[in-house]
Structure 1
Amino acid sequence: MENSFSDHQSLMDSLKARHSDILKLIDGKRVHLLDIPVYGNVGDLLILKGTEIFFKKNKVNVVQVASVYNFQDKVRPGDVLAFQGGGNFGDLYRLHQTHREDLIKKYPENRIIILPQSIFFESKTAFEQCAAELRQHRNLHIFVRDEKSLESARHMTANCYLVPDMAHHLYSATVKPKNSGKRLLFKRLDKESTVENIDLQWHTKTDWDLLIENELQTIDLFRRLLRKSKKLNMDWLVMRAWLVYKNILIDKAKKFFLKHDFVITDRLHGHILASLLNTPNCVLDNSYGKNSNYVKAWTNPSPFVSLHQG
């Protein structure tokens, strides 16, 4: 077991060291971190927290942190626009995709960085329209998390990079689960879910919304406050409070996961969080192969990770 842990630790540490190209592109410039999550998907909050750690460690000058609800047009010539990573690049989540495309079109002279994303379009027409629009930008850089997304990104820009998820910057070798004998089934309740019957044993079953259901009203309050405070140019204060509150949600998720010593999940960040917490996990795929593509690209060598063959 000690050898297994050592191998897992080495892999996880190595994934934290693969984002140097992002720093080269920022090159000391002012950065606007955009499309950050103000909703209950803790996986996206893990990405945001990992990005914060990465930027702080490397002394990146972040001058604006904004969601789709409170972006302020304070972009100067030479500023870098960096969009939150995740899995909302495509036509499944139109609010975020439209926001991203609109700002890319609005700032043709600024360097734009898409932090590590998975790309998926249900509609071939929507994909081709997006690719045609994005190809017009001369300084667009897209970081992706898997080979399939890399193929898509190459239709949008010549500046494509294959890197792991930003949440890996949360990794610590000191965290270990309790020896509880309990197995967690962390299963999607949304449109990306595919597996109905799981042929594996488990003791607890939940998803992000169920795990933080007591906080959902507070999250909705933050969204409404961001919209209102933007008009008063006070949204930065609400955003500061949100960035603190999101850490409470992350800590709650971590404590819950650590009550189990094995995780079965069809959420990519169920897998990543378990791996961050040095917890063995079995990965089920989502509706379009995002999970298996990610595991094959990055975490498959870990003795703590297995892909479910069902």
Structure 2
Amino acid sequence: MANFYVNTTEVVHKLPNNDRPKFYMFGVPSYTNMGDQAVSLAERKYIENEFPEYQYIEIIEEDDDYAIPIVQEHLQPSDIIAFTGGGNMGNLYHNHEEARRKVFSTFVNNLTISFPQSIHFENNEDGEIEKQKSQEAYRK
């Protein structure tokens, strides 16, 4: 029997209140690109297998801004902050890059992980400006 399905049965609007450390995954896609969906599922399975003591919490990309202050309120030193992987780091998909910058420049006191990305900053003025903004955010 294959073990590759997602067994999520409900959307929860409150963060769990328990003693388990949390693994917050920001930028989870809700759109229908199957490649990005597969990346997200693989990340989830990896985290659940490699960090079984952590409670995995997905934050879909359109809720990133709303979720940041809520996560900040509940954040513990042992919690991990991550941003989903894929192919959207750079200046081709501004909204994804701006969300990633905001997450990494906000959660500076916890371990932060960017899952593997394709990176492309165009070789023009906009690409250079956006690359500098990203470098500044990720240095934090």
TM-score w.r.t. length of structure 2 = 0.69
Residues 1:33 and 2:30 aligned together = no
Larger RCO (alpha carbons 8 Å, 6+ apart): 2
Contact 1:31 1:60 (C-alpha < 8 Å) held by counterparts: no
Output aligned runs, 1:73-88, within 5 Å. Answer: 73-75=70-72, 76-78=75-77, 79-88=79-88
SS at match of 2:61: coil
> Any gaps of 5 or more consecutive residues in structure 2?
1-19
Cα 1:92–1:60 shift into 2, 3 Å: farther
Shift of 1:63: 4.2
Contact 2:23 2:55 (C-alpha < 8 Å) held by counterparts: yes
In the alignment, which residue of structure 1 is the partner of 2:128? 124
Shift of 1:120: 1.0
CA distance in 2, matches of 1:57, 1:108: 26
Runs of 4+ in 1 over 6 A off after TM superposition: none
Contact 1:87 1:117 (C-alpha < 8 Å) held by counterparts: yes
RMSD of aligned Cα (Å)? 1.8
In the alignment, which residue of structure 1 is the partner of 2:115? 115
Q: Which has the larger radius of gyration?
A: 1
SS at match of 1:132: helix
Residues 1:66 and 2:63 aligned together = no
SS at match of 2:60: coil
Shift of 1:133: 2.8
CA distance in 2, matches of 1:82, 1:133: 14
Contact 2:27 2:60 (C-alpha < 8 Å) held by counterparts: yes
CA distance in 1, matches of 2:129, 2:56: 36
Shift of 1:30: 1.9
CA distance in 1, matches of 2:132, 2:63: 29
TM-score w.r.t. length of structure 1 = 0.33
Letter in 1 for 2:94: R
1:196-229 CA-partner distances (Å, limit 9, x unpaired): xxxxxxxxxxxxxxxxxxxxxxxxxxxxxxxxxx
CA distance in 2, matches of 1:49, 1:60: 19
Shift of 1:40: 1.4
> Any gaps of 5 or more consecutive residues in structure 1?
1-27, 138-310
CA distance in 2, matches of 1:62, 1:70: 19
Shift of 1:107: 1.7
SS at match of 1:66: strand
Shift of 1:124: 1.7
In the alignment, which residue of structure 2 is the partner of 1:105? 105
